[in-house]
Structure 1
Amino acid sequence: MGFTAHEISSIREQSQQMEHDGVITPEALQYIYDKKLFHLFVADDLDGNMTPLPEAIRIFQECARIDGSFGWLVTIGAGGGYFVPFMTQSVGLDVFGKPEAVIAGSGATTGTARKVDGGYIVNGRWKYCSGSTHATSFTANSILEQEGRPNSDESPQIVTLIMTPDQVQILKDWNTFGLKATASHSIVVTDAYIPDEMTFSFTEYRSHQDEVLYKYPFLAFAQTSFAGVAMGLADHFLEAAEEMMKVRGNDKVLAEIIEQKQEFARQKDAFYMVLDKSWEDLNQKGTLSPEMELRISSECVTAARASLGCGLKLFPMLGLSACMEDTVVNRVWRDLQTACQHALLRG
């Protein structure tokens, strides 16, 4: 599932507009719908496009190489498919059963849920909901209230919610210097009624238990996804830096870039060797060993550091023109720094 040269050029031609507007263009979004990229982890009977994890990570890397915000949105949007087995078949079909279906949301427990007959009354505010402006569903975690107060136990009960766009207010507060078009805004929910069937628990499987992807540990799943984005951004940074130095005829810096590309290629090979092995283990044994989970986590952090390191080493060599925000190399460098700030990539 690749992109043609025309498709890559078309998306990149829209990058500056997307950054300026703070949102993905309808044309770029349509590419995602047409290729079913939001459904890479959705079971096929739910209008899905179920894809082996190693193949999907390579797709994330390629999408991020094309454009950082585009790649981040594909990755986050596709990641929502991991929730499929915790939903009933009918709810899963409601949430995912159309080409444009995609979840945005947050893993933070910054809301409260009060139990009422047949469901919950929910209030809360959640940050960093990437893809908020085109999401068809929202998921978020809330703490269950006890007798009108948040549960005060050491391990409070968490309620994971599925909400519709009409129940959510988007606060356009994503004011970062990179990944500007991801619309990673905060959402606010006020006294929304969420029926019981629109909640789920990560400890209760309700459908599609036999899909291999859903047996991959969630932390490793998330880390590998974000590492793919970081590597794709580094690929684009190296490409843009090389083009800039060729125009200038700066052979000294070009030699540094070529050396960095070779070193980075070795790091990517090491990452995918471990990822492929983990997927092979999962298919053969039905689970990952604790040792493999630790190894995957370590490789993801290492890959992210190597990705960021490409920019840290080379950006100071590119001169003042690279500091201009309207240059490709500047935008990609800002996107790369922003992506690598994610807690799961910092180790």
Structure 2
Amino acid sequence: MARRRNELIGDELDVVQKSLKSEVMSFDGAMEIFLKDAKRKGLREFTLRYYVRECNDFRKYLAREEHSLIINEVVRRHIDEFIEDMQERRCLRTVTINTKLRAIRTLFNFLYERKYIDENPMHKYPLLKERKANIETLSLKQLRQLLNAPNMRTFTGQRDYTFMLLILETGIRLNEAAGILVDDVKLAEGQIFIRNTKNHFHRYVPIQEKMKEQLRRYLKLRGTCETDHLFVTIDETAMTRSQLQKVTAKYGKIANIKGVRCSTHTLRHTFAKLSVMNGAGVFELQKILGHSSMEMVRVYVNLFSSEVSEKHRQFSPLNNL
């Protein structure tokens, strides 16, 4: 009777590989492979931290509930129970829960596509339905209060005023503002080059005379530093994203602005609102804001366009009563 060969080949190796990949791999091991791939793809550090934070939140839940941390033993029921825990025990908002689900879905989609798991518990898993909240924006009066709050006789006051004015002028994201270098400011062309974008598509945003004047003033005060970043601390180091994030909130508090959250994102929404009210088209707005789709731009137009109100004045049935 012939002996069987000892060396595994072809389909036999696939059986072993599946076993090694899916049955033994831990949650931590899966995260390590996932993050290595994300780094190879050039994802931003901010995005990597997001995946680590949200996926590890799910891991903590599994460990607390004494579920298996073998990645192939995570099933759809665990996702359902995790959502119930976030809703009932932690009382998290729908938008927060969906943020976590997106990260977990990305992890499991990657593992399934790479054949590290045999079943994908997040396959076609729906996000929670959320009511669209009204988009918060600042009124013109609140904007004046905010922009009058910095002490313009200090370097930090000039810097923070320049930062807030730039967000209001261009609607760029916080992370995009943090990534601007001095050489990205093209005053002669009336443009700023945005390199640190969400979708990796670099773009130019236009700036007008008032913004150019303030940038000239700030650049002169900034002088030369070891860092190339536009916004710097008094120690002449680049301002981080988290430092810039606190700027608008700080002056909102000084100006005693109530009823609206003072943040960079609120300034971005305010830019969109005022642009739409002043007649900006959807294509121009999409390009300046750096949206990859029209969805959010349409939200702005639907909320803030004065065209519907103008038309309604003409066709209101009450006109004939």
TM-score w.r.t. structure 2 length? 0.29
RCO higher in 1 or 2 (8 Å CA, sep ≥ 6)?
1
> Which of the two has greater strand per residue?
1
TM-score w.r.t. structure 1 length? 0.28
